[in-house]
Chain A
């Protein structure tokens, strides 16, 4: 039995349909699949939930538009949760475009839905700083030296949100939304592990990075949102708390909307893997039978 050439573009077409049709259906009906939070997402939610009002937290947005499809929904939910809790949010980034992603989240969530929060007092965006791990190490000794001014050019010393903040350990919690290097792994390695008991970290990561981070949960990392699934679980928890039975605004359902295409694309993938294995074993069996027949004839 010889292998017939299979045009792999049929697989691409099937995947396109598996992704596009749920997006259309969910986009037109507004319905999403229910989410049951896993312990890691629940732990992330509970860790933020237990912080008292006014607690300073460091939000580091280490990603760029290339991974916004995965990370933007969880960044939105993190900011919404923190704003609703009235935590003092300090946004930083170690990725050049991360500052813009933070500003985008601020505009999307805080400026539109929490207009009572004051920039510079309740939240501040410190922008991007080059230096990767060196910045993390510097943050542990002198915050203002690592970030001398905010993204608008205001010196750190003049920002009320940074009063009482001299080093990273003054933040009881770091929320790291990261797509790679430098990101959540480096925050755990360079900042959190040396300050266990003083600081904790909650992370949101891409699917590629998540398996590297799970070993740190729960001892070195309080909670983790792994890829879009984790984002959807956390989003559902935040929405349930803040909206109750009301339908949340569409921007707060982004991750849950994307679980529709995930479901059908994964079903397709599973089906293709099973089909591939069936074809492989059938071909192998046929080849063995052919060899045995040829041997017998000889």
Chain B
């Protein structure tokens, strides 16, 4: 299996091409077997319906001023509508994904029907998603070209997507909408409203600052970008300073100032041991919080040597910090496993049709195996 002897424990032996060929061959063979069971797998079905929108006149709302005019507004109309009054009608076909069981039911009622059909583009999309999922997972075994390809596609698509988002969600509506509202309204965003002159001036300033930032790309005049960076840092610091003082310093300090003896709601109605323990636990929690804050602050106080009492307090602070890091690590593990579970669910449910928690196919894999086995047995019987 290995072509390289691992000497470092962190290195793993790299598989040979033969090993990769065997792995891919086994996966393909399993997929072929899965395809022969039940209704197969990895297919997406859709329905189509015609949709039409027409511009209609909407009278002013009740209570509107007497001189208010009716407004023209797009409204959904029957797809077979003929524009009698010359009002523009826009038509398109809406394609919706439906569960496979809808297709089976339609085929059972009317074999060869076309109302529910297999969507090749969406099916290919599903297989591409499955391929990329497996390609990324394959890195856990060893680095390989499929992983590199998937990684490069993710990076490229992400960068491209962010550029498109930045252009269409920021530059066009914000900058273009302020500086050339007529053009933007006509071109892409009919609902945009013209802004005031003060906003226009601000946007001219933003345009100039943005252009100055791009000077970093050139060999000369890069110092101009420093002004833009200074502006960004200044605004960010100004925004964050006030909110952090309010929410993280003052409010958190207030939340740390706690009563030594807690008084949970409803404690006055309790008596005896029940009252004692109802007060005890919140009081201990309060004490732990106050002690923890003081110990952690002591740990970060470097003007005094961490010896003697101060050293012991600081060491307690380290314990608090370690418990905090442990909790953060535990949450991170939980998050990562949830994401892994979501991808595995995608492979098992959407692609391989091994599970069907939503009852989308109504032909569970177990039934599929039984049916396929029965059909095979019938075929063998006929052959005999």
Contact = CB atoms under 8 A, between A and B. Distances in A.
B13 A153 contact: no
Interface stretch (B301-309, B330-338, B370-378): B330-338
Given A12-B140, A27-B357, A189-B244, A211 B239 contact: no
Contact of A5 (B6, B174, B191, B331): B6
Nearest to B341: A261
Contact of A194 (B165, B240, B243): B243
Interface string A188-215: 1110111010000000001110110001
Contact of B334 (A5, A9, A194, A227): A227
Interface string B273-296: 000000000000000000000000
Interface string B132-170: 000000001100000000000000000001100110011
B335 A148 contact: no
A8 interface: yes
Interface residues of A, number: 65
A27 B354 contact: yes
Contacts of A30: 357
A257 B243 contact: no
Nearest first, the 4 A-B pairs at minimum CB distance are A27-B355, A69-B342, A207-B335, A193-B247
B191 A19 contact: no
Select the residue from B140, B161, B247, B248 with max chain A CB neighbours within 10 A: B247
A216 B246 CA distance: 12
A118 to B, nearest CB: 13
B210 to A, nearest CB: 13
B191 A134 contact: no
Given A30-B357, A215-B252, A262-B338, A190 B190 contact: no
Contacts of A227: 331, 334-335, 338
Contacts of B10: 8
A249 B360 CA distance: 12
Contact of A250 (B166, B246, B358): B358
A137 B235 CA distance: 13
B72 to A, nearest CB: 12
B356 interface: yes
A23 B345 contact: yes
B341 A69 contact: yes
Contact of B341 (A9, A67, A148, A262): A262
Interface in A209-241: 210-211, 215-216, 219-220, 226-229
Interface string A61-90: 000001111100000000000000000000
Contact of A266 (B12, B243, B333, B345): B333
A50 to B, nearest CB: 15
Contact of A219 (B251, B334, B340): B251
A134 B193 CA distance: 20
A128 interface: yes
Contacts of A149: 189, 191-192
Contacts of B248: 189
Nearest to B327: A211
A148 B193 CA distance: 8
Contacts of B348: 20, 23-24, 27
B343 interface: yes
Select the residue from B165, B337, B341 with max chain A CB neighbours within 10 A: B337
Contacts of A137: 239
A207 B344 CA distance: 19
A26 B357 CA distance: 8
B333 A23 contact: no
B255 interface: yes
Interface string A98-137: 0000000000000000000000000000001110011001
Interface in B216-267: 239-240, 243-244, 246-248, 251-252, 254-255
B247 A68 contact: no
B338 A208 contact: no
A19 B247 CA distance: 39
A250 B359 contact: yes
B335 A5 contact: no
Nearest to A255: B338
Interface in B91-150: 140-141
Given A19-B344, A190-B243, A261-B344, A220 B338 contact: no
A207 B331 contact: yes
A229 B334 contact: yes
Contacts of A210: 331
A258 B338 contact: yes
B243 A189 contact: yes
Nearest to B289: A215
B182 interface: no
B9 interface: yes
Contact of A155 (B11, B162, B191, B356): B191
A265 B338 CA distance: 10
B354 A207 contact: no
A194 B357 contact: no
A229 B338 CA distance: 9
A258 B341 contact: yes
B47 interface: no
Contacts of A66: 339
Contact of A262 (B71, B141, B193, B334): B334
B292 to A, nearest CB: 11
Contact of A251 (B247, B254, B338, B358): B358
A148 B9 contact: no
Contacts of B13: 7
Interface string A10-25: 0010010001100110
B246 A193 contact: yes
A194 B246 contact: yes
Contact of B239 (A20, A70, A133, A269): A133
B366 A28 contact: yes
A253 interface: yes
Interface in B1-59: 6-13
